[in-house]
Amino acid sequence: MIYVENLRKEFKKTIKDPGVIGSLKALFHPHNEKVIAVDDISFNVPEGEVMGFIGPNGAGKSTVIKMLTGILTPTSGKCTINGKNPAEDRKNYVREIGVVFGQRTQLWWDLPLRETYGVLKEIYEVPDDKYKKRMAFLNEVLDLESFITSPVRTLSLGQRMRADIAASLLHSPKVLFLDEPTIGLDVVVKDNIRNAIEYINKQENTTVILTTHDLADIELLSKRIVMIDKGKNVFDGTISELKSKYGQIRELHFETDTQNADKVLAYKEHFGFVDDDISIKTEGTGVQVRFNSEVVPVSEMLSYTLGKININDISVKDADIEEIIRRLYKREV
């Protein structure tokens, strides 16, 4: 469905010295520098899959999405979606896709929401009966009723985001691109939006590419993750693959009545952990220890802890995905 091969995008950036003199100098003698936003990215997405597209700030995710949606022309490399090249046949291509950029709206700022959908209906040539059904459906999953007559500029962020997602789905696109669709939303609206995406994906077999910094989005919606950093692929696989590959982190929880348990235990000194291999959080009598089980095996950690202080309750957990990704972003693995 989506094939991306060695995609690359360079930007020219004008470098300017600070101050008025710098501006003048740049005016007469511009000094350009090449910025490589996307270096070399490849991945495929089969039809009907939800792909989680993640990476730290500035990794190049939005730039890739812009190339896939025909807004930017790649410097080199290829992307084919549904057999079409976005940059070449923009007008025909965009008929089959839906796009949401969380940071910016595609709705007409001064039109009441209902009229915006009327405009989109004409643009995408949706027949009347289909349009009615579709609106009823979107209304149900995204709960638009309460603000559908308000002008877009008066909507709150969460309302606007729901409205934007509805707008991207009105013409039943085959592929849906979502760039941070849950940014800045409360938990209820987030749930709402996740449910809508899941429902559309299941019902219509829509292929979805989703970028987000909220890993719960990914865990709930997608099995597959593509992670990039500095414009290059870092990881491509399922969430369980990610866990088994990088999941040496374990979480130890215990309840103790020993005062200052972390001082008494002194894991760092005892085992020689370096900084990022261990972290300890104390809350009342509960203590949470995250550690790298490759440096010290779980069994050794347990017996040491049990021998050193008085434990009431203890449990060991796999690291959650957030921890793994934090370490990947910090380039520790």
Ligand X SMILES: Nc1ncnc2c1ncn2[C@@H]1O[C@H](COP(=O)(O)OP(=O)(O)OP(=O)(O)O)[C@@H](O)[C@H]1O
Contact residues: other proteins, CB under 8 A: 11-12, 62, 66, 69-73, 90-92, 94-95, 97, 99, 101, 103-106, 108, 110-111, 115, 118-119, 122-125, 151, 179
Residue 60 partner contact from Mg ion, ligand X, other proteins, none using kind-dependent CB cut-offs of 5 to 8 Å: ligand X
Size of the site for ligand X (CB under 6 A): 12
Q: In this structure, are residues 7 and 79 in contact, taking their beta carbons and an 8 Å threshold?
A: yes
Exposed/middle/buried for residue 19 (C-beta within 10 Å: 0-12, 13-18, 19+): exposed
Residue 263 partner contact from other proteins, Mg ion, ligand X, none using kind-dependent CB cut-offs of 5 to 8 Å: none
Structure tokens at 264: 């008494």
Q: Using CB under 6 A, which residues numbered 37 to 66 contact ligand X?
A: 37, 55, 57-63
Q: Closest CB to other proteins among 104 and 263?
A: 104
Q: Closest CB to ligand X among 32 and 303?
A: 32
Q: Closest CB to other proteins among 116 and 256?
A: 116
Rounded (5°) CA angle 209-210-212: 160
Q: How far is the CB of 61 from other proteins (least distance, A)?
A: 9
- Does residue 15 belong to the site contacting ligand X (CB under 6 A)? no
Residue 55 partner contact from Mg ion, ligand X, other proteins, none using kind-dependent CB cut-offs of 5 to 8 Å: ligand X
Q: How far is the CB of 112 from ligand X (least distance, A)?
A: 30
Q: Closest CB to other proteins among 29 and 263?
A: 29
Exposed/middle/buried for residue 274 (C-beta within 10 Å: 0-12, 13-18, 19+): exposed
Size of the site for Mg ion (CB under 5 A): 1
- Does residue 123 belong to the site contacting ligand X (CB under 6 A)? no
Residue 99 partner contact from Mg ion, ligand X, other proteins, none using kind-dependent CB cut-offs of 5 to 8 Å: other proteins
How far is the C-alpha of 180 from the C-alpha of 72, rounded, in Å?
18
Q: In what order do the strands lie in the sheet with 286-292?
A: 278-283, 286-292, 249-256, 311-318
How far is the C-alpha of 288 from the C-alpha of 316, rounded, in Å?
10
Q: Which stretch binds Mg ion (CB under 5 A): 23-31, 59-67, 73-81, 188-196?
A: 59-67
Q: Closest CB to ligand X among 147 and 235?
A: 235
Out of 45, 60, 62, 215, the residue judged to bind Mg ion by CB under 5 A: 62
Q: Closest CB to ligand X among 152 and 178?
A: 178
How far is the C-alpha of 63 from the C-alpha of 61, rounded, in Å?
5
Q: Closest CB to Mg ion among 62 and 292?
A: 62
Q: In this structure, are residues 5 and 69 in contact, taking their beta carbons and an 8 Å threshold?
A: no
Structure tokens at 95: 């008929």
Structure tokens at 235: 């990881």
CA-nearest of 90, 63, 89 to 74 is 63
114: left (phi over 0), alpha (psi -120 to 50) or beta: alpha
Q: In this structure, are residues 327 and 313 in contact, taking their beta carbons and an 8 Å threshold?
A: no
Binding site for ligand X (CB under 6 A): 11, 13, 35, 37, 55, 57-63
Binding site for Mg ion (CB under 5 A): 62
